[in-house]
Amino acid sequence: GQQVMQIPQYQHVQEGEDFTTYCNSSTTLSNIQWYKQRPGGHPVFLIQLVKSGEVKKQKRLTFQFGEAKKNSSLHITATQTTDVGTYFCGQGAQKLVFGQGTRLTINP
Amino acid sequence: GAVVSQHPSRVICKSGTSVKIECRSLDFQATTMFWYRQFPKQSLMLMATSNEGSKATYEQGVEKDKFLINHASLTLSTLTVTSAHPEDSSFYICSAGTGGHGTQYFGPGTRLTVL
């Protein structure tokens, strides 16, 4: 199946700083989904992007899907301690294949 | 959103025993459910696709005789780890979709520890 590479693996920021995680694929993706997993918890669906060049926002979170539908990013503006967790991108029409995840830790 | 439950949330067993994990879609029907495995600080690895009324589809490298999957109804899939060994200790998570482009709703996970 199609693989997605996610970077960085870890990111530590000061509270209030911005954060971005990226997913890249060598092939065109039909869609990209983003999930958040809090420490000790399970993945929770955040958003799905389907269209080329699509940009969606959820409060401080901005999600982008590249024009070629081969990459995507999640950007958090002014991080808060509640943003701590691992962010996964996933792709697939039926079964999801996940990226490696980016673990975000925040220094309050 | 859709709710998926998983039971038990935590299980400790002796090596050589079998453990059954249940995954239920509480407010929707799911013809397909998915089973994932997650080691500490790692990503979710898809193990198999559970299909209601038919055989599960296993990912490459996953032993179907080791991880038995049964999807007997539209709201229940079970994963049985047979003859568990310490290396089977992991976090097992199921998910189910409501159709469309494949948005998945995850269960809370089952942490298995094999002594």
Residues in chain A closer than 8 A to B101 (CB atoms): 30-31, 48, 50, 93
How far is residue B113's CA from residue B115's CA, in Å, rounded to a whole number? 6
Gap between the terminal Cα atoms of chain A: 40
Q: Do B104 and A103 touch (CB under 8 A)?
A: no
How far is residue A65's CA from residue A75's CA, in Å, rounded to a whole number? 12
Does residue A98 belong to the interface with chain B, where contact is any CB pair within 8 Å?
Answer: yes
pLDDT at B51 (0 to 100): 86
pLDDT tens sequence across A10-65: 999 999 999 999 999 999 998 999 999 999 899 999 999 999 999 999 999 999 99
pLDDT at B101 (0 to 100): 56
pLDDT at A90 over 60: yes
The residue type of B113 is: T
What average pLDDT does range B78-94 have in this prediction? 96
pLDDT at B104 over 90: no
Does residue B49 belong to the interface with chain A, where contact is any CB pair within 8 Å?
Answer: yes
How far is residue A55's CA from residue B23's CA, in Å, rounded to a whole number? 34
Q: Would the CA dihedral through A76, A82, A85, A87 be positive or negative? A: negative
Q: Which residues lie below 8 Å from residue A82, measured CB to CB, with a gap of 6+?
A: none
Instruction: Return phi, psi of residue B12, to 5°.
Output: -120, 130
Do A72 and A22 contact (CB within 8 A), yes or no? yes
Q: Do A95 and B34 touch (CB under 8 A)?
A: yes
How far is residue A9's CA from residue A4's CA, in Å, rounded to a whole number? 13
Grade residue A1 by pLDDT with cuts at 50, 70 and 90.
low
Residues 5-44 of B with CB under 8 A from A: 32, 34, 41-44
pLDDT tens sequence across B26-83: 988 888 899 999 998 889 999 999 988 888 999 999 999 999 999 888 899 999 999 9
